Amino acid sequence: MENDSPTHAQAIPVLRTFGVGDTGIKAIELMMADGLMSDRFVAVNSDAESLEKSAAGEKILLEDRRLRGLGSGGDPERGRQAAELKAEQFKALCEGVNVVFIVAGLGGGSGTGISPVVARIAKAAGALVLGFVTIPFDCEGDQRLFLAQHGLDDLKEIADGVICLPNQKVFNLIEQNTSAIDTFRIINRFLADGVQGVWRLLALKGLIQIHPEALLRLLHERHSECAFAVAQASGPDRAPRVVDKLLAHPLLDNGQALANSESVLISLTAGAQLTMAEVKSVMEQIKTQCHSAQVLMGAAIDERFDDRLAVTVITAQKLDQEPAPRTTQTLDTQLLERTHTAKPNSRFLPPAPALAPEKMQQMFARQNGGRSAQRRASLKMRQGQLPLEIVSKGRFDKSEPTIHKGEDLDVPTYIRRGVPLN
């Protein structure tokens, strides 16, 4: 745990957040509405209309002739190809940046296809890359869930840490009559709060500072399964109350995610009245839920918080705990996972070599004798051998035979090749 006083605090890192797709852009809009500087945000989409409404300091419209003004069409590959065409622009925005946040909703064409490209470019520029993404509701269909899972796997292979919010868990937080619009607003709020918790921890000077490298050591290759939650409380008893909210938070599986975690990041943000007693109280209560976890804690001061205390918790699950396997499989999954079998051998055999008349008669005699024995032993009726004989050539008897590669083509093929007709 990094514990530097304000006078010896680490240099404030340069942060930049990319809101990718509709979900990512809406999340960064909430962050800017909360007072974060717009010049640190980049809105990325293949939809021009959503970018026009964004207040982000930078906007990247991914458009080319293949998209024809219709966006990615739900195809991640089209989103990826469009992002590759803007690689130099992404690279320029990542130069000199210490930490890059990528906020997106997975399952569609933009968030799923563009996010890994941005992560790769930011990583190559030397930035620490953290992803905050959502997974679709189960009711959105197997196809979107399938695309989201593959997009999540691609992002995890590149980014230093990926914090995933399954939309399905939000059902535990809303009332039954909550509208679809309000539900997605809640999800966007969760994403914005999660990013802000880490953002403030890294960007604001405070009681306890965390260096980006410390965050990297905590999350690197430990994000096979991550969970996060944010809670706020006010008043004189805000410290115990905010912890109670966190332990009951559905996104932390009512505290079970803390018990199963290998590492935990705890970020406290409050006004100038934040006391060390409150910091100690919060930490002690959370640590009792995760005895064996490595804990990284930071406390930041934000004058706009007044008497509010906000605590963000991010857990990285133990590596030996595999996520539950998916029980549904779409036709696309079956087609993609089907292994290609070896091509069967041809059923056509090469022609048999030409036989002398004596050999041919012996072969027919053996076959006829064997087949007679089989017919006697079998109870099923079989078609007898046709009494075919070679017919005279008539007026062509004195004609020269048609010889090709040593074979008399005037002799029927079945006789030349010794094939009995049954």
Highest mean pLDDT among 13-17, 46-50, 336-340, 365-369: 13-17
pLDDT of residue 329: 40
CATH of 222-321, one of 3.20.20.140, 3.40.50.10470, 3.30.1360.30, 3.30.1330.20: 3.30.1330.20
CATH T-level topology, domain 13-203:
Rossmann fold (3.40.50)
pLDDT in tens, 342-390: 444 444 444 555 556 666 666 656 655 555 555 555 544 555 555 555 5
Mean pLDDT to the nearest integer, 87-102 = 93
Edge to edge, what strands does the sheet with 226-234 contain?
A: 226-234, 308-317, 261-270, 294-301
Q: Could you give the angle at the alpha carbon of 244 between the alpha carbons of 240 and 245, nearest 5°?
A: 120
pLDDT in tens, 299-313: 888 888 888 999 988
Say which range, 151-155, 156-160, 253-257, 411-415, has the weakest mean pLDDT.
Answer: 411-415
Residue 41 scores a pLDDT above 90: yes
pLDDT of residue 104: 94
Question: For the whole model, what pTM was predicted?
Answer: 0.68
pLDDT band at 95 (very low <50, low <70, confident <90, very high): very high
In the chain, where the domains are located: 13-203, 222-321, 357-375+384-416
pLDDT of residue 362: 66
Residue 42 scores a pLDDT above 90: yes
pLDDT of residue 9: 44
Is residue 96 within 8 A of residue 70, CB to CB? The reply is no
For the chain, the average pLDDT equals 77
For 286, other C-beta atoms within 10 Å of its C-beta total 21
Greatest pairwise CA separation for the chain in angstroms = 123
